[in-house]
Chain A
């Protein structure tokens, strides 16, 4: 099993509508591993059709084989991306609106056609993760893979720089028992044999993540190899559950 440690640097603002409150749309500071998986492996492992229509366009099917773009294909290749932990982050709030040809969009007031909520429907305020924010994550792969240097993530398809480095085998130890995990995890991707004892919940669609968790099961302990300099930024030990795969915890088997 190969481990890649990735540092993600935001070169543009990232926006996801994690929480919607009236006209304010807020982005969660953790990056979801499913979103990252699509961004990292689009058009290489996961096909990306240009045209989306009907049920496919309206309903996500992350773990459905019937959906052309599903994550199970990564399971077949033995690839798994963990959610990303924010190391340094800040926010910026920006107003957006839907433009029309006359360059002028009149906000629709409550009661007008199409406006059934008591706030204007064609503009909103996006609370975005600001440029310069820094994240860390891990990717597991069965065989060596090429990880793109630049990916596009979020509703604005913002550019992120990915610096990936393969961790040497002697930095990783397979262990079993009770352990703490500081890295965010996706509970649906945990194997059935791993039990979550304690955790903080990060509420976000499509699947809430957990952080600062205490778990029981098989895990990998990643520590800094002696010959590595501090520039590699592997300052503290990290424990990650083993046996993770997309949808491992729910009864969906690839057919």
Chain B
């Protein structure tokens, strides 16, 4: 039996009305491949944090500035990647008026597709759906000073010059960019999902390539999944993961990614053992490689992918009809009374 199939009993068969303790934690090292920009106010986002966790180590206890990748800057591109996939399989549509029309971040969200149910929505009078995907702001492993550089950019005329017929362009500016090969250790959490929902979220993590500003030009990043943990509670934060990894590397963050991933796997395993949660299954190393290979092949196989995501769509639609936005008032009241 393939490892992906063997995971099935760990998941619910339908999306529940009430939150419970079924957590899947994806342990990821997000690794920049080009020059991403994460900023909200004209400068790159940073935060002052302890370098590591060890108070007895000089290097570890110093305070450093780290680049910050806000949580919404992680989830948004992943959502959009997933929505593209749903549209390409005709599960949702971008055409207004269609039955399965779903608009992102607006009052015309369909409130029943996998994106709406898994990542949630909030629309004034139409109520809201709480997200089942949790993220946490990510902090760069290396200090801010070593992880960014300022570049000038301009928008020249077609001839490649900044002046034409005596007219000068003013479109020139300078901008701080994050350097390639900067790592952001991350935990992304999925709660109370079905097996198909797990595949969808994992696929979004593996398939999202660009993060941050100017996504079509720069901002390429690769998500290296180093572990998956199925637990009954929340586990350590991104900051804790980053600091523990910093200590384990003894501050030497300029390592090849294979080396970093291996170290991150070790650190994550160690940290997981310190968490007061029950672990239903923990997937690392060889087993993880097999799982990821299976997920990759599923995404390459049109038929199986369509089957999996159609099943997921049926599940979210059923949820929506039973407890969600398209449920009739009477049934919802009856159900909640029964559960009391």
Contacts and interface: CB of A to CB of B under 8 A. Distances in A.
Interface string B55-96: 000000000000000111000100010000000000000000
B18 interface: yes
Contacts of A99: 76, 104-105
Contacts of B157: none
B275 A50 contact: no
Contacts of A149: 233-234, 275-277
A150 B21 contact: no
Nearest to A90: B48
A78 interface: no
Interface in B214-270: 215-216, 233-240
B4 interface: no
A43 B239 contact: no
A47 interface: yes
A65 B61 CA distance: 48
Contacts of A52: 127-130
A11 B238 CA distance: 8
B105 A159 contact: no
A131 B239 contact: yes
Contacts of B128: 51-53, 57
A193 interface: no
B325 interface: yes
Interface string A180-215: 000000000000000000000000000000000000
A156 B68 CA distance: 15
B105 A51 contact: no
B40 interface: yes
B18 A12 contact: no
Q: Which of B134, B192, B216, B237 gathers the greatest number of chain A CB atoms within 10 Å?
A: B237
Interface in B293-336: 323-325, 336
A197 B180 CA distance: 60
B136 A49 contact: no
Interface in B153-178: none
Given A11-B240, A101-B104, A50 B19 contact: yes
Given A42-B19, A99-B76, A156-B71, A51 B325 contact: yes
B126 interface: yes
A132 interface: yes
A159 B71 CA distance: 11
A228 interface: no
Give the interface centre of A43, A95, A158 by most chain B CB atoms within 10 Å: A43
Contact of B137 (A13, A54, A93): A13
Given A50-B132, A94-B70, A161-B240, A57 B18 contact: no
Contacts of A158: 136-137
Nearest to A48: B19
A94 B45 contact: yes
A131 B47 contact: yes
B49 interface: yes
A100 interface: yes
Nearest to B192: A50
A68 B333 CA distance: 11
A92 B66 CA distance: 14
Contacts of A100: 104-106
Contacts of B50: 132
Contact of A150 (B17, B103, B105, B235): B235
A47 B80 CA distance: 31
A158 B137 CA distance: 8
B235 A49 contact: no
Nearest to B63: A132
A11 B125 CA distance: 33
A202 to B, nearest CB: 26
Given A12-B239, A156-B71, A148 B233 contact: yes
Contacts of A53: 126-128, 325
Interface of B: 15-21, 40-41, 45, 47-50, 70-72, 76, 80, 103-106, 120, 125-132, 134, 136-137, 192, 215-216, 233-240, 275-277, 323-325, 336
Given A51-B325, A95-B40, A149-B233, 12 more contacts: A11-B136, A11-B237, A11-B240, A43-B18, A49-B19, A50-B15, A54-B127, A96-B72, A101-B105, A132-B50, A158-B136, A159-B136
6 contacts: A12-B137, A49-B18, A57-B127, A100-B106, A101-B104, A130-B47
Interface of A: 11-13, 42-43, 47-54, 57-58, 68, 92-96, 98-101, 103, 130-132, 148-152, 156-159, 161
Q: Which 5 A-B pairs have the closest CB atoms?
A: A53-B127, A11-B237, A150-B234, A48-B19, A159-B237
